[in-house]
Amino acid sequence: MAAKWYEVVTGSLDQKKQYKQSKARLEALPEPYRGAAKALERYIMVAGGIVDGDTMVTMFSDFADLWERAAADGTPVRDIVGDDPSAFADEFTAAYSGKQWIDKERDRLNKAIDDAERGEHR
């Protein structure tokens, strides 16, 4: 009972556990993969804007898979991220079509314009 109330306030405990597991997988990577993955993760968290927990958990699990495979294969970091790491991160995030924070602002803007228009026609 308490867990359900807590999850209403803070979000899914299972999602938090899965996210922490993905972070631990990144921490376990050898350098230079760990440093690159952690820098990209930070960027994605700031710029990605994904607010849907299920999408975020899936994305970061896939992100950890990508870096683990690269480390195992010895793939150079630049072969993964290319010449523009932020473009790579943006494209990686775009592949996950979860709800983003900007969606709320778009809805708010559309509603404000609709409300304004209705006010003009009174």
Is 2-120 a domain of CATH 3.40.50.720? no
Is 3 or 45 the better-scoring residue by pLDDT?
45
Is the pTM of the predicted complex or chain greater than 0.75? no
Region 81-100: mean pLDDT is: 87
Residues in Cβ contact with 3 at an 8 Å cutoff, skipping those fewer than 6 apart? 13
Rounded to whole angstroms, how far apart are CA atoms 34 and 37? 5
Under 8 Å between Cβ of 47 and 40: no
pLDDT band at 99 (very low <50, low <70, confident <90, very high): low
Which pLDDT score is estimated for 41? 94
Question: Residue 46: what pLDDT?
Answer: 86
Per-residue pLDDT, 104: 81
pLDDT on residue 10: 53
